């Protein structure tokens, strides 16, 4: 697959329930983020903080709404595995097999909050290893990247130009212009 095939494999996650947001604490509302398929049967990845506390999870895939459910989650790594109910021929992404190191060209795919269309931003891996130790996540295999992100990009994939997944976007700090992703290695271990 390549970068043109991304839009079918990346989708918007819509949730309702009680949530703990890293920036504003607990609140009850509808939330949203991004996710991506890792197989044709509807198994997908997003952030745990996107779906935690959700009573209803929906996936908006290329304009079609599907029901979804959380099947596994790692709170400390901020990764959730969800199953989207529907077709068994979803477009999906493969994992990047190379080394994740500074200078690797990456793209962040996802759906910013609101009625925003699919977006793709580019950058590089700027720091290949790091530990994020926040009160809402402890991610051992995280890395920093330079692609601009928006709220709603959480849970979306970081991919190479061949659309192979390097990691999962999960945090951005606008004040310091820093953006963080959970490494493919953490996600594969959880899977």
Candidates 169, 112, 136; CA nearest to 25 is 136
Candidates 187, 142, 40; CA nearest to 172 is 142
Candidates 74, 2, 21; CA nearest to 82 is 74
pLDDT of residue 72: 92
DSSP string, 115-128: S---EEEEEEEEEE
**How far apart, in whole angstroms, are the C-alpha atoms of residue 113 and residue 110?**
10
pLDDT of residue 136: 47
What pLDDT digit, counting tens, does each position of 74-103 carry?
887 889 999 999 877 999 999 999 999 999
Kindly list the catalytic residues: 49, 78, 154
pLDDT of residue 58: 95
Cα angle: 150, vertex 59, 157; to 5 degrees? 45
Candidates 107, 150, 126; CA nearest to 1 is 107
pLDDT of residue 132: 59
Cβ neighbourhood burial of 28 (10 Å; 0-12, 13-18, 19+) = exposed
pLDDT < 50: residue spans in the chain: 136
pLDDT of residue 134: 57
**How far apart, in whole angstroms, are the C-alpha atoms of residue 186 and residue 131?**
12
């Amino acid at each position: 697959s390549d970068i043109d095939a991304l839009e079918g494999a990346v989708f918007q996650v819509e949730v309702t329930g009680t949530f703990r947001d890293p920036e504003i604490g607990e609140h009850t509302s509808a939330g949203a983020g991004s996710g991506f398929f890792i197989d044709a049967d509807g198994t997908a990845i997003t952030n745990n903080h996107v779906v935690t506390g959700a009573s209803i999870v929906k996936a908006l895939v290329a304009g079609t709404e599907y029901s979804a459910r959380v099947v596994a989650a790692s709170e400390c790594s901020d990764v959730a595995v969800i199953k989207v109910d529907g077709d068994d021929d979803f477009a999906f992404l493969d994992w990047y097999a190379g080394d994740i190191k500074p200078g690797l060209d990456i793209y962040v795919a996802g759906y910013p909050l609101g009625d925003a269309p699919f977006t793709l931003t580019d950058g590089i891996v700027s720091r290949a290893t790091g530990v994020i130790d926040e009160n809402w996540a402890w991610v051992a295999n995280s890395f920093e990247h330079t692609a601009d992100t928006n709220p709603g990009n959480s849970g979306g994939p970081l991919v190479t130009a061949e659309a192979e997944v390097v990691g999962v976007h999960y945090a951005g700090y606008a004040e310091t212009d820093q953006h963080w992703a959970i490494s493919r290695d953490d996600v594969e271990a959880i899977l």
